[in-house]
Amino acid sequence: MMNDRIGVLSGDITRLEVDAIVNAANNSLLGGGGVDGAIHRAGGPAILEACQRIGGCKTGDAVITLGGDLPAKWVIHAVGPRWEGGSQGEADLLRSAYLRSFDLVAQYGLRRVAFPNISTGIYGFPKLEAAQIAIEVTQTVLSTDPAIEEVLFVCFDPENLMIYRELLGQPQAGE
C-alpha cells in the first residue's frame, strides 16, 4: 500500500523541514500571491534571483531552485493551470505539473517532499478533482519509485484538509 508514505498536514508549507517543498508558481516565476508569496517572503531574495535566471516556466511544467532561508533545502516551482471551465486541458496540465515535480524529485534524489494544493487557490481549480489528480499521480509514482520516503500534502484551507483526509482514508475523530 502506497498510502503509508503519504501524509496530510494542515498549516504553512514554508515551515517544513523536508528535502523540497513545491511552490504553486506562475509562468513568470517572479512571485505572486498565495503560497507563492509566502515562499518568497520566507525564503528570501535568493529564490527570486534563481527564478529570474531560469526565466520562466510553462504551464504543466516545473523547475527547481535552492530553498534560500527556508528550512527546506529545495523549492520545486510547479505551474498549474488556471481553471477555465474544464475544457481547456486543465486536468492534464495539473497532472503534468505534479508529474514534472516528481521528475525533479527523482533527478535530485529527494526523499521527502511536500506539496501545496496546486491551482486550487487563486487559479480556481475545483478542489475535489484537483485532490484526486494529485493523489493518483502520487500513488503511481510511489509504486514505481522506492527511493521516495514520504510525500506530504499541506492543506492550508479546511476544505482541502477534509478532502485529502477523506480520499486517503485518514479521517480525524469526529469527522
User: CA-to-CA distance for 124 and 5, rounded, in angstroms?
Assistant: 28
Residue from 74, 98, 102, 123 touching ligand ADP (CB under 6 A): that is 123
Percent helix / strand / coil, the chain, rounded to 5: 40, 15, 40
Q: Is 48 helix (H, G, I), strand (E, B) or coil?
A: helix
Examine residue 38 and tell whether it contacts ligand ADP (CB under 6 A). Answer: yes
Contact 125, 95 (CB under 8 A): no
The cell 478532502 sits on which residue? Answer: 163
Q: Please say which residue, 65 or 119, places its beta carbon nearer to ligand ADP.
A: 119
Examine residue 97 and tell whether it contacts ligand ADP (CB under 6 A). Answer: no
Residue 61 designated active-site:
no
Tell me the H-state helices in the chain.
Answer: 34-43, 45-54, 90-107, 127-144, 158-167
The cell 496530510 sits on which residue? Answer: 8
Q: Which stretch binds ligand ADP (CB under 6 A): 34-42, 62-70, 85-93, 104-112?
A: 34-42
Q: Please say which residue, 35 or 50, places its beta carbon nearer to ligand ADP.
A: 35
Residue from 156, 161, 163, 167 touching ligand ADP (CB under 6 A): that is 156
Residue 103 burial (C-beta neighbours within 10 Å; 0-12, 13-18, 19+):
middle
Residue from 35, 50, 141, 163 touching ligand ADP (CB under 6 A): that is 35
Residue from 43, 60, 67, 116 touching ligand ADP (CB under 6 A): that is 116
Q: Which stretch binds ligand ADP (CB under 6 A): 62-70, 84-92, 152-160, 163-171?
A: 152-160
Lookup: cell for 147: 527511493
Residue from 117, 142, 153, 161 touching ligand ADP (CB under 6 A): that is 117
- Residues designated catalytic: 36
Applying CB under 6 A, which residues contact ligand ADP? 12-14, 24, 33-36, 38, 80, 116-123, 154, 156-157, 160
